[in-house]
A and B are shown apart, each in its own frame.
Chain A
Amino acid sequence: LAKTTQPISMDSYEGQEVNITCSHNNIATNDYITWYQQFPSQGPRFIIQGYKTKVTNEVASLFIPADRKSSTLSLPRVSLSDTAVYYCLVALRGAGSYQLTFGKGTKLSVIP
């Protein structure tokens, strides 16, 4: 499973755009990139998933360069409620079991 590296923590003011970059240098051809959000004492919540280029949903955008060795989660106009740990994962999707390996994550603190 591809290992991921992301900043341990980030601070941001309310209303700003936050970009969290994740490195996954040994990503395999069939791996997908998935981001999860976790609040204290809760299970992780799916944010977004992508394979290449750009993916956008109502919550975030995911930018993946052509070499796929990194990805950037973009959260527009964060609020205090976005304070959480964000995990970047790469995993083989489909083909039976879809196993995830969680790294240390990025603790985002949104400041009023």
Chain B
Amino acid sequence: GAVVSQHPSRVICKSGTSVKIECRSLDFQATTMFWYRQFPKQSLMLMATSNEGSKATYEQGVEKDKFLINHASLTLSTLTVTSAHPEDSSFYICSATGQSNNEQFFGPGTRLTVL
């Protein structure tokens, strides 16, 4: 099946710094990529949807100026958490769909810890 990778797998940073997370589709072209956040013992919450070459669509309650999403190519989307704070500590997961839009393929996730 299709493979989606994320980098880094985990990151620890100081409060106030910015962190970039990469999501790549390795063997298919991802027309749409999604970013989710998952807090401990909770379900995945969709943060935003991005289509290649256009601005991301953010879910209600998600600050677009804090969570910057760039989907510059059909194989790469990035999520930048700007001025991270401890409450941003979470598990961030991306997913991608190809042109058939029949399935979402999920990345392995990135564990962000803000000290």
Complex partner residue of B32 from A34, A87, A97, CB under 8 angstroms: A97
Q: Which of A27-53 contact B (CB under 8 A)?
A: 34, 36, 41-46, 49
Q: What count of chain B residues pass the 8 Å CB interface test?
A: 27
Q: What count of chain A residues pass the 8 Å CB interface test?
A: 23
Complex partner residue of B104 from A42, A98, A103, A105, CB under 8 angstroms: A98
Instruction: State which of B12-20, B60-68, B71-79, B89-97 sits at the interface with chain A.
Output: B89-97
Q: What is the total of A-B residue contacts with beta carbons within 8 Å? A: 64
Residues of A within 8 A of B (CB): 34, 36, 41-46, 49, 87, 93-105
Residues of B within 8 A of A (CB): 1, 4, 6, 32, 34, 36, 43-46, 49, 51, 91, 93, 95, 97, 100-109, 111
For the complex with contacts A49-B103, A96-B101, A100-B95, 5 further pairs of A-B residues with Cβ separation under 8 Å are A46-B1, A87-B43, A98-B104, A99-B34, A100-B104
